[in-house]
Structures are given as structure tokens and as C-alpha cells.
Amino acid sequence: MIITGKYPNLRLRRNRKSEWIRRLVRETNLTVNDLILPIFLTEGINKKIPIKSMPGIYRYSINKLVGILDRAIRRKIPMVALFPYTNPNIKDVLGSEALNENNLVCRAIRYIKKRYKNEIGIMCDVALDPYTSHGHDGILKKRKILNDETIDILVEQALLQAKMGCDVIAPSDMMDGRIKRIRQRLDKENLKDVQIISYAAKYASNFYGPFREAVGSNNVLKGDKKTYQMDFRNCNESLREVSLDIKEGADMVIVKPGMPYLDIIRSVKDNFKIPVIAYQVSGEYSLIKNGIQKKIIHEKSIIESLMSFKRAGANAIITYFADTINLDLFN
């Protein structure tokens, strides 16, 4: 970059002297249109269960979704993402509950579509970890995650969610080749308008702990996920993952986690010019939320964190702050 001029003729502080001029020359903006709201589901009636490691976040029974969805629609949040807490008694090694048309996610999709039609979009994860007794995203055999056998199940899971009314299918499993198989099956079933948002650059991160508590996989996970999620030391590998998923039919891609991976967001955006979604994951949320509650940092740090994603090139952000953030802080 070449900056023409020099001090004292050039005084960059002139463009910071007043609030109005700072707004006028602002390079990055954030609105509710940029936010996706994750919602945790639980079985039962009239249930709103706090998640201990995520202050202010709850699991909702389906009939209690009205409050959070009404608020999201009033705020004009474009889309929600659904995540189930599965009863341990119905988990098995194959994650069979993922293919049950009356599982928690499928019933929630039907409920939302019946009540709200297309007032708000629905995104659903395609992965087996909420349903497997070992906590992994795929089929586990002799301590190895089987790629192709897992895809066979993921394709059926994606098809089921789409038939229930899910708008955006989000494979988060990190199996090689699953985007192509899912896209082909959706198209074959005349579900060509269902979008695929791929967790293309998903890292084996230490920031997922609170999420695993929320979906109930934290106490059952055997081993780690390093053989299918990416090494956090790698950058170029993320471009290969994204490139393959785009070629296979992904409409958008997710970088997960968010703040520790701003360089990845920028690199993906610069190289592919595709809609990029940042996921501000549970560990990021809990760190910021606890810092605010203990008055270590200011509430405005939420906006600062979200703005960093936009500045890095993200088109949208999956964030647990979406429905509680003070909208006045946007200004």
C-alpha cells in the first residue's frame, strides 16, 4: 500500500475528530442481517434449561421456542441454527436417531415451518455426534472413523432434514467427499433449492467445550477428533478443503472457530469470493460473557469481536449473542 502525502500536510486524525465523520468514513458495518442465531433443543414440555458453562444460554423444548423465535423475527435475524440435546438412552454406535423422522430436530423444523412459514430461515447440522454413544461425528470402528460408511448415513440425514423443511443443510462432520454426495442426492430428490453451507474449515479446537456440554457429547466422547477435523497449525490446508467443497456444490462455507482464525477467514475470502460464515463458537462466547459479568471487559467488546469477523471478510456470523445483544451498541 502506498500512502501519498506526509505530515504535517497529511493528518489522519482529521478523519477521527467527530462522531459524524467517523461514521462517514467507516470501512466496516455490522447489522442484525449479519447474524445467525444458534438454538439448543431439548425433549419435554415447557422446558428452558440453563447451560452451566454458557451463561445466558438455554436448551428449549419445542413448545418454548416461540419466545426466542418471536424475538429473533422482531429483530430481523435472518436464520436460526438448530442443535439437539439427545437423550443418552437413545444414542447408539451408529447414531441411528439421526435418521428418525420424529427426532428432536425434525419435529422442531416442522413446528417452526408450520408456525412461521418463511419468516426466518432454518439451518441444520449434518453430523452424527449428537446421536452416537461414542460422541464422534461418524462411524467408529477399531478406534478409526470410517469416512465412506459415514457419508452413507449423512446423505440420508441431510435428505431427511431437507424433506422436513430445513432451508440450509450444514455438514459439520468433515468427512471427505460428503458435499458432492449430499448435493447429488438432494438434486435427485428435486430439492435443488435447498442450500448447502459446508463447515469446510473446521479445526480440532479447544474452544468447543461448552457446546459439547450443551448437546450432551462431552461425557461420552472417546478420544479426540484430530483425524478428521483440521490441525490448528495449518492454513493452506483450509484452502484445499474449501476448494474441494465448492467444487462439490457448497453454496457457502463456514470457518470454525472464529476469532482465533481471522486469518483463515481473510484467506478464504480473498481466494474464493464465496459467502464465508464465521462461527463464534461456545468457548469464545463463554470467555467474553464471563469477562463482562465479572466486569473485566466492557459489554461493547461483543461488538468489537463481531466486527472483527466482518473486517476479516465474513459475510455473516453464527453467534450466541445474536438475540441478546444490545442493538444500540451497533451505533
Q: What is the pLDDT of residues 188-203, one digit of tens each?
A: 999 999 999 999 999 9
* 80 backbone dihedrals φ, ψ, rounded to 5°: -115, 155
Number of domains in the chain: 1
Q: How far is CA 44 from CA 28, 47, 178, in A?
A: 43, 6, 33
302 domain-assigned: yes
> How confident is the model over 107-136, as pLDDT tens digits?
999 999 999 999 999 999 999 999 999 999
Which residues are catalytic, by number? 202, 256
Q: Is residue 235 part of a domain?
A: yes
| Residue 169 domain flag | yes
Strand partners, 38: 81
| Distance between first and last Cα of the chain | 29
Q: What is the DSSP string of 54-90?
A: STT-EEE-GGGHHHHHHHHHHTT--EEEEEE---GGG
> Residue 298 sits in which domain range?
30-322
Assessment of whether the complete model's pTM goes beyond 0.75 = yes
Query: Residue 146 maps to which CATH number?
Result: 3.20.20.70
Residue 257 and residue 203 in contact, taking contact as beta carbons nearer than 8 Å: yes
* CA distance linking residue 55 with residue 51, whole number of Å: 7
As given in the structure block, the three cell numbers for residue 154 are 449423512
pLDDT of residue 329: 73
Q: How far apart are CA 301 and CA 264, in angstroms?
A: 22
User: How confident is the model at residue 10, as a pLDDT?
Assistant: 87
Give the integer Cα–Cα distance in Å for 230 and 138: 15
**Residue 267 · residue 239 · CB < 8 Å:** yes
- pLDDT of res. 328: 75
Domain assignment present for residue 279? The answer is: yes
Q: How far is CA 276 from CA 80, 118, 299, in A?
A: 17, 23, 26
Residue 326 is predicted with a pLDDT of: 80
Query: Is 255 inside any structural domain?
Result: yes
Does residue 261 belong to any structural domain of this protein? yes
In the predicted model, residues of the chain with pLDDT beneath 50 are: none
- Helix ranges, 14-164 (H): 19-24, 65-74, 104-116, 147-164
In a domain, 22, yes or no: no
| DSSP label of 203 | B
